[in-house]
């Protein structure tokens, strides 16, 4: 009780202690914001892969026919909810006079693709991919393909994009066919389609590069010699709670039988097929970002050591000016351990108050980081975040609680550590010397 | 003189001031190391972008390009401040290894190897034709065949040191390059037919500009070949950009301003001609404006990092404040004596601020010395960490970064030292003013002695 009384008294009477609380709060808030932004970016990056590609992707070394049957076989696996075949090709999208954009064309089965990925949610108006269409070929165009985002705000003109729904566009791609002399011949192919909706995933690459067309039409156009439509990969959504490793093993088994029986592929061709989760596909890059996060946190952690020095200075000062109090307490029977504990405990108390404030500040800044960024843009004309640089349209604003606990714990320990030497100095006080009359 | 003596005495005798010194040194050390590395990365990135672009570009983002580029290039070449001029075609193409049946979309640049190398750093980015860039498009298998130069990341992988794998001589690889030609109106040329412009090119060289986006997406073809493939020969010859290099000593902004004027006159003269409507889309930019999208991100990150260090540096101000508060509270009698023998309030403030500045200078010197020592060995340390623990600051197989930048920028050092001294002065102001206000009659009372 005496200790708490003294802590509160020092806090009230020695205003300089507030500086140490401010320093701890500042360091804690900064570390929380940095860790949360990095982690948010990593999570968004991994989630973007899942949203764009599904949970698992099966990528053979070459295109293959008969994907409908493979989808059916895969969907018979207990852990697989749905499988959707896709095909990709390159092309030029003619948006108007002189306005030609290089795009990547994804051939999809809209209804299935919308369920395997987050495609449905990304559609601006309809929110559900409609496989029936309006008779002709329906396609979906990334919002960034239609127009560049605003230079100042980095926001797309959503109304403008919605206004283009229903318009007809021509995409030019090419097909490779067997030539008369045995070689391959490249022929230009155009596909006219009606834009069924614009796609805004918030992921810059998808939004600025992709055009989605029905896989059958794309396959017929690009691979006219193939009797059946072909696919380049299978994107798979797993059931909730499914073990991804087990699912991959089962998917590989199904693929092996299918490729061998139906496609007649050689073993090396089957073995070279890559089946992995979309998170695994990004793992190298994610590991690199995590490493950079660690380095940055280490740098700020080292700089934050100055807060420990500050606490040391302040506590040293308190001990120096409170020698008589300490001597009186010791002369009343307090042992050295109790005296030391008063100051170490006070250090921890300062740490707790500082981290509470810092965590609150870190939480508020992280949660409102997009608003803060917007405010900086308005106040200073400085657009810090751009989707074209950082992949995503919005800054991820999830607090990384796992790191918060570590940061808070380290800050409290650091604060207590800063108080150790002054506490020992206090504990070694000899009442007989301090309380001498002269 | 007594101020100097006292300042040194306080520094020497009051061990607590070592803490303030340590805090300043720590902050300066970290800032010097991080800013040197960051500065090096940003500076290197900018230089690579400058090398890639030249000093000034005139052109349009439209894939259609603009006409009469040859006439403008001729005029520009005659300007006294212009060293060299080169036209460039920029478009997109599908490329595939002959016989594979698979195509990949790439960016296509049609360049005149000789003049392009004079304007930009293209020649230095080549592997096999570094010494004679004009032969960049001579295929390795047969110099009579049309060659292509490909971005290093499209061609080869990088090892853990960031080095590419190259064969001793150019491999005999053929790529079919397909373009979709556009008319001057922006429509597809030869509409209604299934004809595309496809031609086979043979590997001649790799270009390693050090810019990941460039090296991972661009294939270079001879200018005339690219012009034909993109349909930019009819009805008038077109190009996408004209890159310009200024003579040494020319201020780039001033040079660009003069080119803008030159373009204005040229536009007025040519605006009545056929296909002159394409000229209205042409802009004149400095290399920085042209590559702004790439550079701005890194510059902003550097700014944000500086702001964060500024915030953390506040703690140093707090430390200095506390240390001075302690020193002054222990030295009230000295202050009383000084004032009683004639020192003014200003003298007392100057004494402590001088002490603070000395602390800042010594702390900065220690921090800078530590930073220099660390930076000098930073690549060795990283090498050791990689050998022992497999740790690299940046995975060189992912990032196009060579060694960690470690060249010190004297301006940055001066700024950091200045900020450290200012931080010390800021921390010492309040205690110094408090000391100056001390009244000898109060602090030198017998009861206080």
* Assigned token pair, B31: 């800032």
Residue A72, pLDDT score: 94
Selected residue of A181, A294, A303 to mutate for chain B interface (largest B Cβ count, 10 A): A303
Instruction: Specify whether B69 is located in the same domain as B41.
Output: no
Beta A233-238 vs A80-96: how paired, if at all? antiparallel
Instruction: Specify whether B227 is located in the same domain as B131.
Output: yes
Asked whether residue B287 is assigned to any structural domain, the reply reads no
Per-residue confidence at A257, pLDDT binned at 50, 70, 90?
Answer: very high
Residue A100, pLDDT score: 74
Percent of chain A surpassing pLDDT 90:
33
Give the separation between CA A282 and CA A288, rounded to whole angstroms. Answer: 10
Selected residue of B66, B180, B382 to mutate for chain A interface (largest A Cβ count, 10 A): B180
Instruction: Specify whether B251 is located in the same domain as B320.
Output: no
Nearest to B322 among A313, A382, A389 (CB): A313
Asked if B92 and A26 come within 8 Å (Cβ–Cβ), the reply is no
pLDDT in tens, A194-230: 999 999 888 888 888 899 999 999 998 888 888 889 9
Give the separation between CA A252 and CA A246, rounded to whole angstroms. Answer: 10
Last residue of a domain, one of B281, B316, B331: B281
Asked whether residue B322 is assigned to any structural domain, the reply reads yes
What part of A 44-103 touches B (C-beta under 8 Å)?
A: 62, 89-90, 92, 94, 96-100, 102
Residue A400, pLDDT score: 93
Asked whether residue B348 is assigned to any structural domain, the reply reads yes
Last residue of a domain, one of B281, B306, B328: B281
Contacts of A200 (CB under 8 A, 6+ apart): A122, A124, A142, A143, A156, A158, A161, A207, A393
Residue B51, pLDDT score: 94
**What average pLDDT is seen over chain A?**
86
Residues of chain A neighbouring B213 (CB-CB closer than 8 A): none
Spacing of C-alpha A289 from chain mean position: 10
Beta A210-214 vs A184-199: how paired, if at all? unpaired
Last residue of a domain, one of B230, B256, B281: B281
Asked if A22 and B318 come within 8 Å (Cβ–Cβ), the reply is yes
Instruction: Specify whether B196 is located in the same domain as B174.
Output: yes
Selected residue of A306, A369, A376, A383 to mutate for chain B interface (largest B Cβ count, 10 A): A306
Residue A22 neighbours by CB distance under 10 Å: 18
Residue A98, pLDDT score: 63
- Residue B443 belongs to domain spanning: 2-46+295-448
Mean pLDDT over residues A53-60, rounded?
93
Give the separation between CA A369 and CA B283, rounded to whole angstroms. Answer: 36
| Confidence check: pLDDT of A260 > 80 | yes
Give the separation between CA B348 and CA B342, rounded to whole angstroms. Answer: 11
pLDDT in tens, A74-85: 999 999 999 999
Mean pLDDT over residues A3-28, rounded?
81
Residues of chain A neighbouring B385 (CB-CB closer than 8 A): none
Residue whose entry in the numeric block shows the structure tokens 């803060």: A372
Instruction: Specify whether B213 is located in the same domain as B274.
Output: yes
Residue A189: φ, ψ to 5°: -130, 140
Nearest to A16 among B19, B98, B325 (CB): B325
Instruction: Specify whether B258 is located in the same domain as B133.
Output: yes
Residue whose entry in the numeric block shows the structure tokens 């000062």: A317
**Which positions of chain B have pLDDT values less than 70?**
1-3, 7, 14, 98-102, 190-196, 443-449
Instruction: Specify whether B73 is located in the same domain as B196.
Output: yes
Give the separation between CA A303 and CA B305, rounded to whole angstroms. Answer: 13
Instruction: Specify whether B150 is located in the same domain as B271.
Output: yes
Give the residue, A60 or B334, on which the prediction is more confident. Answer: A60
DSSP-assigned beta bridge partners for residue B158: B164
Give the separation between CA B110 and CA B395, rounded to whole angstroms. Answer: 32
Asked whether residue B286 is assigned to any structural domain, the reply reads no
Instruction: Specify whether B183 is located in the same domain as B219.
Output: yes
Residue A131, pLDDT score: 54
**Weakest-pLDDT range from A44-48, A255-259, A381-385:** A381-385
Domain positions in chain A: 2-45+285-434, 61-272
Per the structure, how many domains does chain B have? Answer: 2
């Amino acid at each position: 009780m005496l200790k708490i009384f003294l802590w509160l008294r020092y806090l009230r009477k020695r205003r300089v202690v507030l500086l140490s609380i401010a320093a701890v709060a500042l360091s804690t808030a900064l570390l929380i914001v940095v860790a949360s932004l990095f982690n948010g970016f990593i999570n968004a990056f991994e989630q973007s892969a899942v949203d764009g590609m599904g949970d698992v992707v099966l990528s053979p070394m070459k295109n293959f026919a008969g994907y409908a049957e493979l989808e059916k076989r895969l969907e018979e696996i207990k852990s697989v909810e749905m499988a959707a075949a896709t095909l990709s090709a390159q092309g030029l999208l003619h948006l108007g006079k002189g306005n030609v954009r290089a795009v990547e064309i994804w051939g999809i089965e809209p209804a299935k693709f919308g369920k395997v990925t987050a495609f449905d949610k990304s559609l601006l108006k309809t929110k559900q991919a409609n496989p029936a269409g309006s008779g002709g070929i329906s396609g979906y165009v990334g919002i960034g393909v239609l127009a560049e985002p605003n230079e100042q705000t980095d926001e797309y003109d959503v109304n403008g994009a919605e206004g283009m729904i229903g318009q007809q566009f021509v995409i030019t791609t090419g097909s490779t066919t067997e030539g008369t002399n045995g070689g391959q011949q490249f022929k230009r192919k155009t596909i006219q389609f009606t834009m069924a909706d614009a796609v805004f995933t918030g992921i810059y690459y998808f939004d600025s590069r992709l055009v989605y067309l029905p896989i059958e039409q794309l396959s017929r156009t690009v691979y006219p010699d193939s009797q059946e439509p072909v696919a380049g990969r299978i994107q798979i959504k797993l059931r909730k709670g499914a073990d991804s490793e087990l699912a991959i093993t089962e998917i590989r088994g199904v693929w092996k039988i299918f490729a061998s029986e139906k496609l007649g592929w050689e073993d090396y061709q089957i073995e070279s097929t890559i089946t992995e989760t979309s998170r695994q596909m990004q793992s190298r890059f994610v590991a690199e970002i995590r490493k950079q996060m660690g380095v940055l946190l280490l740098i700020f952690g080292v700089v934050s050591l100055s807060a420990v020095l500050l606490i040391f200075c302040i506590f040293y000062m308190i001990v120096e000016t409170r020698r008589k109090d300490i001597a009186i307490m010791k002369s009343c029977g307090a042992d050295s351990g109790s005296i030391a504990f008063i100051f170490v405990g006070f250090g921890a108390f300062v740490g707790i108050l500082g981290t509470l404030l810092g965590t609150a500040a870190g939480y508020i800044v992280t949660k409102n980081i997009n608003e803060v960024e917007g405010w900086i843009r308005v106040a200073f004309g400085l657009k810090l975040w751009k989707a074209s640089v950082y992949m995503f349209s919005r800054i991820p604003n999830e607090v990384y609680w796992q790191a918060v606990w570590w940061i808070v714990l380290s800050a409290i320990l650091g604060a207590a550590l800063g108080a150790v030497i002054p506490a020992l100095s206090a504990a070694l006080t000899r009442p007989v010397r301090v309380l001498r009359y002269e | 003189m007594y101020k100097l003596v006292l300042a040194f005495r306080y520094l020497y005798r009051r061990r607590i001031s070592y803490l303030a010194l340590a805090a300043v040194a720590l902050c300066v050390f970290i800032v010097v190391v991080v800013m040197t590395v960051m500065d090096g990365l940003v500076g290197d990135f900018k230089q690579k972008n400058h090398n890639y672009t030249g000093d000034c570009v005139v052109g349009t983002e439209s894939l259609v390009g603009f006409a009469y580029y040859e006439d403008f290039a001729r005029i520009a070449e005659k300007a006294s401040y212009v060293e060299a001029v080169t036209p460039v075609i920029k478009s997109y193409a599908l490329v595939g290894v002959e016989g594979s049946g698979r195509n990949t979309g790439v960016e296509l640049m049609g360049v005149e190897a000789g003049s392009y190398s004079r304007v930009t750093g293209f020649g230095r980015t080549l592997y096999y034709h570094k010494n004679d860039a004009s032969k960049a498009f001579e295929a390795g298998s047969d110099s009579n065949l049309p060659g292509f130069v490909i971005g290093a990341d499209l061609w080869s992988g990088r090892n853990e040191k960031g080095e590419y794998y190259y064969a001793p001589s150019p491999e005999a690889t053929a790529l079919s390059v397909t373009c979709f030609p556009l008319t001057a109106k922006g429509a597809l040329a030869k509409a209604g037919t299934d004809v595309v412009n496809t031609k086979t090119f043979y590997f001649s060289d790799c270009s390693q500009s050090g810019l990941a986006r460039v090296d991972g997406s661009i294939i270079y073809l001879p200018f005339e070949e690219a012009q034909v493939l993109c349909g930019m020969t009819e009805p008038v010859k077109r190009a996408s950009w004209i890159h310009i290099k200024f003579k040494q000593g020319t201020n780039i902004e001033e040079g660009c301003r003069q080119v803008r004027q030159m373009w204005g006159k040229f536009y007025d003269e040519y605006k009545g001609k056929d296909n002159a409507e394409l000229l209205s889309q042409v802009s004149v930019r400095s290399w920085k404006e042209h590559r702004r999208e790439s550079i701005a991100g890194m510059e902003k990150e550097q700014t944000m990092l500086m702001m964060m260090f500024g915030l953390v540096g506040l703690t140093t101000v707090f430390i200095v404040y506390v240390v001075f508060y302690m020193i002054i509270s222990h030295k009230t009698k000295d202050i009383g004596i000084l004032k009683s023998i004639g020192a003014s309030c200003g003298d007392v403030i100057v004494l402590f601020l001088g002490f603070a500045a000395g602390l800042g200078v010594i702390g900065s010197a220690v921090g800078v010395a530590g930073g220099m020592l660390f930076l000098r060995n930073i690549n060795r340390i990283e090498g050791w960490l990689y050998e022992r623990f497999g740790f690299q600051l940046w995975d060189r197989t992912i990032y196009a970064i060579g060694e960690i930048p470690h060249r010190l920028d004297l301006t940055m050092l001066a700024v950091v030292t200045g900020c450290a001294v200012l931080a010390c002065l800021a921390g010492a102001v309040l205690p110094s003013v408090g000391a100056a206000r001390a009244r000898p009659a109060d602090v030198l009372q017998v009861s206080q002695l």
